């Protein structure tokens, strides 16, 4: 066994791991990066980018099929060639992965250690019985993997997760989707728009991460107009029958139905990759899931020399958060024991469904009880949205009574990815509703709907006597 010495050892070469390695090197320290699987990021391989490629194809098909209301008539049948769709998805996915790999190739070969690492102690790692790495500090950036409930495992190769979808060579005829979270909702709607028979089943009414009951209900009704969706489904059984999956369930009309599908796409969440790291040999305190407890501003676990970043810590599993966390963890691992808090940006989440969903700042579920007002806009009659026939959805903005400070928002509607960014900037700058209304709003744009919601919030704040709401823009 070869013994290596380094200042910082980074376990994992995904988004967080690459950021941690670079931050440690930028701080002037030696760093090693350990990776047991293929190099590249979850986003490029099986996440953000290939899913958006599938969604783009679905949007093209949907748009082509819905031109008549504009007086534009497409003669003939709109045909989706599944092989061509998936060929582009795979080609472009590989291109994005290639960009990541180019960056990895620029890392010195001696800094890249192949194999799976396990802790021997807080400062010692063993890699596949080939290396022993002694490090002053260690960053865990091992990512996550799909979590599949045991009852689905009997479905064998008829069970797929999002990782599998992007390797399809052709589109199937039918798919049952379990889990209407971000992944299930995006892929379920995309497949339905590409001509695949889709049924989406959820539990407890959850949908796209929304916690505001009114916004969630609007989202539910909107999606149900397009494809079968039951966020609070009663699935009686899922059984492998030949090369198909038989699903027995109670439908929305309260009748029992049995249908067969080519695949069951299980999108019921992801599990942090920390269970095989030998964390029991360290001093870190772990939660019920086995994830090390940590400070989200320094990424440090307790007072130890171990830091954790990205999906592995199960905090905010998003690429931009993983990159930020990796930088913070890598820098603090290099500076240890003199660590310092890093910049944590305002929370922002987007679901690339149609209409899109955006979650900004404090969610409805985290608002202070009786200490806020809700401003609302319904996009049904919003000018630009109606012009484009994208007039579906609603936006709720939340403001603090007394200060008028903008707290957060939940939204389903057009241009949610862009409005979400504006609102995230407002949260991070700690703006009040009045200050936001002082900003320019062009005409006619979808963002005028945001102004309507802000004006609604300002009126309610004024009724509560909030001093910050007394000065509002015209």
Residue 463: the pLDDT is: 93
The DSSP 8-state label assigned to residue 412 in this structure reads E
Q: Is the pLDDT of residue 187 over 90?
A: yes
Gap between the Cα atoms of 292 and 294, Å rounded: 6
Q: Is the pLDDT of residue 465 over 90?
A: no
Q: Name the burial class of residue 95, with classes exposed (0-12), middle (13-18) and buried (19+) by CB atoms within 10 angstroms of its CB.
A: exposed
Q: Is the pLDDT of residue 179 over 80?
A: yes
**pLDDT, average across residues 27-50:** 84
Helix and strand numbers, DSSP H then E, in the chain: 12, 22
> Which tokens sit at 98?
């290639």
pLDDT digits (tens, 9 = 90+) for 303-347: 999 999 999 999 988 889 999 999 999 999 999 999 999 999 999
Across the chain, mean pLDDT equals: 94
Residue 82: the pLDDT is: 97
Residue 472: the pLDDT is: 45
Please tell me whether residue 136 adopts helix, strand or coil conformation: strand
Complete DSSP assignment for 341-381: ----PPPEEEE-SSSEEEEEES-GGGSPTTSEEEEEEEGGG
pLDDT digits (tens, 9 = 90+) for 336-352: 999 999 999 999 999 99
Helix (H) or strand (E) run with residue 59 in it: helix 48-65
Please tell me whether residue 473 adopts helix, strand or coil conformation: coil
Residue 237: closest CA among 220, 254, 255, 250: 250
**pLDDT, average across residues 199-220:** 97
Residue 130: the pLDDT is: 96
Q: Is the pLDDT of residue 468 over 70?
A: no
Kindly indicate the confidence band of residue 474, based on its pLDDT and cuts at 50, 70 and 90: very low
pLDDT digits (tens, 9 = 90+) for 112-142: 999 999 999 999 999 999 999 999 999 999 9
- Bond preceding residue 109 cis, omega within 30 of 0: no
The DSSP 8-state label assigned to residue 432 in this structure reads B
> Which tokens sit at 39?
């190099």
Helix (H) or strand (E) run with residue 113 in it: strand 112-114
The pTM (predicted TM-score) of the whole model is 0.93
Q: Is the pLDDT of residue 170 over 50?
A: yes
- Strands 244-250, 256-261: pairing is antiparallel
Percentage of residues of the chain with pLDDT beyond 90: 89
Gap between the Cα atoms of 214 and 25, Å rounded: 48
pLDDT digits (tens, 9 = 90+) for 374-386: 999 999 999 999 9
Do residues 261 and 174 touch, judged by C-beta distance below 8 A? yes
Gap between the Cα atoms of 466 and 474, Å rounded: 18
**Going edge to edge, which strands form the sheet with 228-230?**
159-160, 263-266, 174-178, 197-201, 228-230
Residue 231: the pLDDT is: 97
Locus of tokens 């250690």: 113
- CB proximity list for 134: less than 8 A, separation 6 or greater: 3, 4, 5, 6, 123, 124
Q: Name the burial class of residue 112, with classes exposed (0-12), middle (13-18) and buried (19+) by CB atoms within 10 angstroms of its CB.
A: middle
Kindly indicate the confidence band of residue 44, based on its pLDDT and cuts at 50, 70 and 90: low
Task: Pick the range with the lowest mean pLDDT from 71-80, 111-120, 214-223.
Answer: 71-80
Q: Is the pLDDT of residue 104 over 90?
A: no
Kindly indicate the confidence band of residue 466, based on its pLDDT and cuts at 50, 70 and 90: low
Gap between the Cα atoms of 432 and 21, Å rounded: 38
Q: Is the pLDDT of residue 72 over 70?
A: yes
**pLDDT, average across residues 265-292:** 96
Q: Is the pLDDT of residue 470 over 90?
A: no
Complete DSSP assignment for 252-299: TTS-EEEEEESEEEE-S-EEETTTTS-GGGSS--B-TTSPBP--TTT-
pLDDT digits (tens, 9 = 90+) for 438-463: 999 999 999 999 999 999 999 999 99
Q: What backbone torsions phi and psi does residue 222 show, to the nearest 5 degrees? A: -65, -45
Q: Is the pLDDT of residue 259 over 50?
A: yes
CA distances from 171 to 87, 298, 349, 460 (A): 10, 44, 28, 50
Residue 119: the pLDDT is: 98
Q: What are the structural domains, with CATH classification, of the chain?
A: 2-145+271-335 (3.50.50.60), 150-268 (3.50.50.60), 348-469 (3.30.390.30)
């Amino acid at each position: 066994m070869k013994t290596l010495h380094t200042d910082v050892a980074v376990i994992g070469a995904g988004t967080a791991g690459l950021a941690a390695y670079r931050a440690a090197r930028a701080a002037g320290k030696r760093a090693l990066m350990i990776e047991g699987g293929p190099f590249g990021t979850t986003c490029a391989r099986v996440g953000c980018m290939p899913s958006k490629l599938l969604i783009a194809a679905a949007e093209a098909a949907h748009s082509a099929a819905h031109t008549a209301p504009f007086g534009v008539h497409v003669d003939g049948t709109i045909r989706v060639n599944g092989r061509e769709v998936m060929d582009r998805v795979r080609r472009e996915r590989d291109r994005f992965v290639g960009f990541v790999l180019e960056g990895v190739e620029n890392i010195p070969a001696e800094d890249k250690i192949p194999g799976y690492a396990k802790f021997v102690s807080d400062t010692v790692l063993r890699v596949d019985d080939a290396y022993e790495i002694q490090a002053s500090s260690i960053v865990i950036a091992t990512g996550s993997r799909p979590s599949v409930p045991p009852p689905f495992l009997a479905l064998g190769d008829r069970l797929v997760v999002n990782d599998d979808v992007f390797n399809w060579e052709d589109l199937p005829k039918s798919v049952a989707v379990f889990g209407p979270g971000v992944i299930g909702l995006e892929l379920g709607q995309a497949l339905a728009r590409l001509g695949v028979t889709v049924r989406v089943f959820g539990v407890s009414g959850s949908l796209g991460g929304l916690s505001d009951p009114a916004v969630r209900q609007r989202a539910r009704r909107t999606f149900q107009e397009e494809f079968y969706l039951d966020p609070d489904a009663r699935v009686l059984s899922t059984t492998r029958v030949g090369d198909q999956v038989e699903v027995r369930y109670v439908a929305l009309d309260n009748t029992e139905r049995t249908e067969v599908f080519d695949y069951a796409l299980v999108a019921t969440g992801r599990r942090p990759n920390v269970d095989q790291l030998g964390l029991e040999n360290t001093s870190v305190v772990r939660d019920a899931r086995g994830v090390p407890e940590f400070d989200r501003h320094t990424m440090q676990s307790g007072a130890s020399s171990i830091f954790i970043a990205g999906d592995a810590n199960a905090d905010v599993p998003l690429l931009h958060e993983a990159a930020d966390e990796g930088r913070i963890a890598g820098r603090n691992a290099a500076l240890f024991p003199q660590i310092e808090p890093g910049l944590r940006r305002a929370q922002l989440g987007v679901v690339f469904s149609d209409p899109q969903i955006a979650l900004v700042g404090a969610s409805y579920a985290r608002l202070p009880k009786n200490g806020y007002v809700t401003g609302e806009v319904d996009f049904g009659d919003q000018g630009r949205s109606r012009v484009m026939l994208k007039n579906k959805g609603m936006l709720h903005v939340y403001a603090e009574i007394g200060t008028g400070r903008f707290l957060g928002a939940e939204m389903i509607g057009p241009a949610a990815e862009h409005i979400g960014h504006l609102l995230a900037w407002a949260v991070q700058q700690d703006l009040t509703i009045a200050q936001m209304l002082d900003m320019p709003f062009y005409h006619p744009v979808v963002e005028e709907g945001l102004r309507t919601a802000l004006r609604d919030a300002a009126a309610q704040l004024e009724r509560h006597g909030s001093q910050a709401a007394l000065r509002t823009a015209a």
